[in-house]
Amino acid sequence: MTSLLRAELLKLRTTRTFAALVGAALALSLIVVVLTASLGNDWSAQNTRNLFTSNFTGLFILLLGVMGMAGEWRHRTISATILAAPNRLRLLTAKTLSYAAAGALLSLIVTLTIMLVGTIILAGRGIDTAPLSDLADVLWRDLVVAALLGALGVGIGAVLRNQVVAIIAVLVLGFVLEPALYGLVPEVGRYGPTVIAPSAIVDVSPFGESADETLLSPAPAVLVMLGWIALFFAAAAVRLRSRDLV
């Protein structure tokens, strides 16, 4: 399993897609933090904390997971991948864990960077940054969300297989369906896997305000995310193990 994990992480590092998505996540997060820290006026404790949740890693690692798995079919490399690692369940597990690890690492880099930059800008304006305990709290939540979304992306990619369809499905789900469902029926919408449950873990509203009461608490939200991952993993495992690769 260790070799498979190392190989999957090496695969991630050796394509331009990874570098591009990491760069995009970092750039987008920095733009938001720089603009907010430079132009914002209301620096309540909650708003200061929220500044450092402007981490866009989640979306990108979700897409990266989708592309990493569905890309095996898009580039027709799935046969060669399974030849190298014939146990399909172990392969799927390794991919899931490696994208979770990559998500956590990516989030660590982005979160630390935006915390550093945001703190410098706030300090330059004579504004107190969030206390260290708040920063640590934001950091672990971001890491957990990114890890869970990386794993979820692999499951979605393995179930749908068509990379374009999978990316569109994730974007529609995250930007249209989940927010709409949460707005209409929050008791149901709060279980959404790509935006709403992750927002609950980070403890901010998916619409940029403080967390409201309809969101799940962080621990149940983590369990909900794990449930979604388990569901997609199981479906992907059944599909991957039962299908002929012709």
- Residue 152's nearest CA partner among 111, 110, 196, 188 is 196
CA distance to 60, 61, 65, 87, 162, per residue, from 75 (Å) = 20, 20, 15, 20, 11
> Is-contact 94 2, C-beta < 8 A?
no
> Is-contact 159 239, C-beta < 8 A?
yes
- Provide the residue type at 60 as one letter: F
> Is-contact 150 69, C-beta < 8 A?
no
When the beta carbons of 64 and 225 are compared against another protein, the nearer one is: 64
> Is-contact 99 68, C-beta < 8 A?
yes
Q: What is the Cα–Cα distance from 222 to 244, expressed in whole angstroms? A: 34
User: Residue 162 interacts with another protein (CB under 8 A)?
Assistant: no
Q: Write out the binding residues for another protein, residues 82-111 only, by CB under 8 A.
A: 82-87
The interface mask with another protein, positions 34-73, x = CB under 8 A, is -------------------------------------x--
End-to-end C-alpha distance for the chain, whole angstroms? 26
Locate tokens 């260290």: which residue? 132
User: Residue 235 interacts with another protein (CB under 8 A)?
Assistant: no
Give the shortest CB-88-to-another protein separation in angstroms: 9
User: Residue 80 interacts with another protein (CB under 8 A)?
Assistant: yes
User: Residue 32 interacts with another protein (CB under 8 A)?
Assistant: no
Among 14, 41, 44, 133, binds another protein (CB under 8 A): 14
Give the binding range for another protein (CB under 8 A) out of 76-84, 165-173, 180-188, 213-221.
76-84
User: Residue 125 interacts with another protein (CB under 8 A)?
Assistant: no
Among 38, 79, 210, 217, binds another protein (CB under 8 A): 79
Give the shortest CB-108-to-another protein separation in angstroms: 23
Chain residues binding another protein by CB under 8 A are: 3-4, 6-7, 10-11, 14-17, 71, 75-77, 79-80, 82-87, 244-246
